[in-house]
Structure 1
């Protein structure tokens, strides 16, 4: 048999079957690379980190704010250097965005110019630039010095790899409206307190952008300070030889690169390094100021016993262009991973939004990398995971009616408690409790109801005891 157009009927039938199958086939669930889902156990552990950080931020007098996930691209562009701008996630304009672009611009295939036409917003790259925008926009509603903390996700179009994600949380703490180096001292103390409480051994690396500016001036390349800092910042990742090659490719002279070598290899105690670098860049006014600031900060720090190791690292640059003074980077000693905290001073970040001469300093904790470190080192306490403290086993309607008022009293006493929603088999309910890592279960049968008691079972030891509802509340509230 033939169909119209002389196509065999069996081929037509086969095509429609195949087409229909494709339409009804379930889509394979997936998420974008560099992002992650988090299970209840993982969320409990993440919240343990957030709660620890938040508690310490508040201890030092910082207040919380939030800003939108997306900002105007005019707010974000040009604040992170050329490489940072490339990592911004842009959001397409609503509606028929391409209709506003003429044919010639499409043919030119100039991605930067085209982006400006079809995208006006972007996902935030960090929390610092949106904070600067917030300060200027709300300057009449806040008191200076303004101490804020912010815990929200950020997005970067980076290549995903171990410890590097496209969506991740930052826990920022900043002070704006004060030039005092006491603020830098407090930030180091916060770093020490956070990682001490999380039981992570760390080294806090500190440098000063004024010292780096002094180095650039001393080697005769002041106009290439950004190129120099961006290259130096990669020293740990790519090594000295490749850093030198990148500097030469950026147009830094061979003579300047040669002068830079002994500076990059300075060693000794923090005080000795400062003496050595001052001898090299002391003729630079900005470099001398940076050295003086570091001496003051280390003098402050000498008055405190810190668990964290604090090291002056003259190769630390941090690639973000807005830093102008002290810069910080924190690394875990016991795990090979990138920095888990970093930041620095920025003297005029608000100036680009029309509010000049407002100095600020802040640090950002990388919650996702901290999570990875704690997971690898098994540092999460058991109580960080447990959500439900006790589960009432459900044996039927009569037992439900007896248990529900006790359950309500436990919750009123701030005990996390629940009841299995249906009278399923005992094994199923106990397996469910075990998988949820519930610490105890309460069992009530006819005998317990007659006695006005309940049976409390410890899921870890298997021990059981018969107690009154009042005794149960007292035991579980301890």
Structure 2
């Protein structure tokens, strides 16, 4: 007996209902992006390894899916690396391409490659899948979609303000309330690292701090100590782990802690500007919170960083995130092009909406009318009516085979089709239709006009 086929761990098939629900989220996000003036682009699913490697930190690099070179990939393999089983050196010689890890770095490559065609500031959105060789778990997959919006070519903090509003617009449209938009600033993290004597270990510091909500305070301290951050410096972090209160009160506390750091004070100034603007503009359903331990362990962030949390009654990781990157295009030779962007985690948003029962009943727009097939003459007559129904925006179809009546009706029931139309010789001769309401069981003879009106109003 043939073995039942399967799919790789961390990937999924989607049935029609799931696709409809995903499209509901896609369309909501896409609509908001376009309302805010973002334009769509697409980039290849895989890039040259040199484009991706070294942009996400050591941990990010490990999670990049590498693609073996075409043909005899071992012919050009590094023999020394192969003999020594040095996977890093060996990979470089047998893999020149990789699946994209996110949409931001490919976007930076796009900007540099097409800089003569782009009008700055350039606002783009992108909705495409990405791949990460991560350990699959609830809400974390190896293949998943990102929905990104970015602005490049402007250092204005009004962009950060707009992105917070954009998050609020999308989650309001999805009826998802009590969403928390957390914000911090990379300059503040740089200032903290400077104050605790770890200025030369900023990456180690931020990558470890980013694990706080996953492994806890004590484990974070242990890991920092293991990475060479002095105990005296770690002790100075205690006030930050317990920092609480309003956005404004936390800002005042940070001013005292970072009084000797020019970089840190600049970050505080930027956060205060954003908070003041949002306080004046207001948010519909989301709330903005300062989280000084928010790090987002990606090397390219330089200013504000965002992370969006689902409502407290749902156990789920972040459902969005992003930040300011002042020189991401510099890695591809184009200096001084500042950018800022955010991303929506489609798969996690889906799980949250499902758990809270927030998908509209109309999200699965099913076939509304099924015509029973009694034969060639009746089928042709039915297809003429089906054509008119479709022109009126009504989803209709003909059962393809002249199967037994019971089989066709069972098919309609299993697909939850609300109306069935029976067209026999009598209906063809009288130019009428027998319409059956599958929910009430009521059956009536109607004209085409009445058939259209009845199904459209249902």
Give the TM-score normalised by the residue count of structure 2. 0.96
What is the distance in 1 between the residues matched to 2:355 and 2:377? Answer: 47
2:404 matches 1:436: no
Question: Match of 2:375?
Answer: 396
Closer, same or farther: CA 102–349 of 1 in aligned 2, 3 Å: closer
Q: Which of 34, 38, 42 is the matching residue for 1:66?
A: 42
Distance across 1 between alignment mates of 2:310 and 2:438: 35
* Unpaired segments ≥5 residues, structure 2: none
Find out whether 1:85 has 2:61 as its counterpart.
Answer: yes
For these two proteins, the number of residue pairs brought into alignment is 454
Q: Could you tell me how far 1:77 is from its partner in structure 2?
A: 0.4
2:212 matched to 1:235? yes
Q: Is the 8 A contact 1:386 1:437 kept in 2?
A: no
Q: Residues 293-325 of structure 1: CA distance to partner in whole angstroms, max 9, x if unpaired?
A: 111111111122321121111111111111111
Q: Please, which of 301, 305, 312 is the counterpart of residue 323 of structure 1?
A: 301
| Alpha carbons 2:419, 2:455 under 8 Å: kept | no
2:194 to 196, 211, 217: 217
Equivalent runs, 1:74-473 vs 2, <5 Å = 74-101=50-77, 103-201=79-177, 202-302=179-279, 303-333=281-311, 334-473=313-452
> Deviation digits for residues 155-208 of structure 1, max 9, x if unmatched?
000011111100001111111111111111111111111111212231111111
Aligned to 1:31, the other structure's residue is in SS state coil
For residue 248 of structure 2, give the secondary structure of its aligned residue in structure 1: helix
Give CA-to-partner distance per residue, 1:382-410, whole Å, 9 cap, x none.
21112322221222223212211111112
Paired with 1:464 and 1:173, the residues of 2 have a C-alpha distance of 51
Task: Indicate how the Cα distance of structure 1 residues 269 and 61 shifts in structure 2: closer, same or farther if over 3 A, else same.
Answer: same
For 1:365-422, what per-residue CA distance to the aligned partner results, in whole angstroms no more than 9, with x for missing partners?
1111111112222221121112322221222223212211111112222322211101
Q: Distance in 1 between matches of 2:172 and 2:133?
A: 32
What SS is found at the alignment partner of 2:30? helix
User: Deviations 1:343-383 (Å, cap 9, x if unpaired)?
Assistant: 11111000111111111111111111111112222221121
Q: CA separation of 1:439/1:211 partners in 2, compared to 1, >3 Å: closer, same or farther? A: farther
Give secondary structure in 2 for the equivalent of 1:340.
Answer: strand
Structure 1: gaps of 5 or more residues: 1-24
Contact 1:395/1:423 (CA < 8 Å) preserved in 2? yes
Distance 1:356 1:394 in 2: 66
Cα distance in 2 between the residues matched to 1:169 and 1:233: 22
Q: Distance in 2 between matches of 1:133 and 1:61?
A: 22
CA distance 1:390–1:205, shift in 2 (3 Å): same
Contact 1:187 1:363 in 2 (8 A): yes
Contact 1:171–1:364 under 8 Å retained in 2: yes
Shift of 1:477: 4.1
Q: Which residue of structure 2 aligns with residue 50 of structure 1?
A: 26
Q: Does the Cα contact within 8 Å between 2:78 and 2:89 map onto a contact in 1?
A: no
Equivalents in 2 of 1:113, 1:434: separation in Å?
A: 59
Measure how far apart 1:474 and its partner are: 3.5
1:313/1:26 Cα in 2 relative to 1: closer, same or farther (>3 Å)? Answer: same
| CA displacement 1:90-133 (0-9 Å, x = unmatched) | 00001111122254331111111101100000000000000000
Secondary structure of residue in 1 paired with 2:237: helix
CA contact (8 A) 1:386 1:438 kept: no
| Range moving further from structure 2, 86-95 or 378-387 | 378-387
| CA separation of 1:187 and 1:102: change in aligned 2, threshold 3 A | closer
Q: Distance in 2 between matches of 1:346 and 1:462?
A: 62
Q: Give the distance between the partners of 1:318 and 1:49, measured in 2 at CA.
A: 25
- Secondary structure (helix, strand or coil) at the match of 2:96 reads strand
Scaled by the length of structure 1, the TM-score of the pair is 0.92
The answer for the alignment partner of 1:28 in structure 2 is 4
Contact 2:152-2:339 within 8 A present in 1 as well: yes
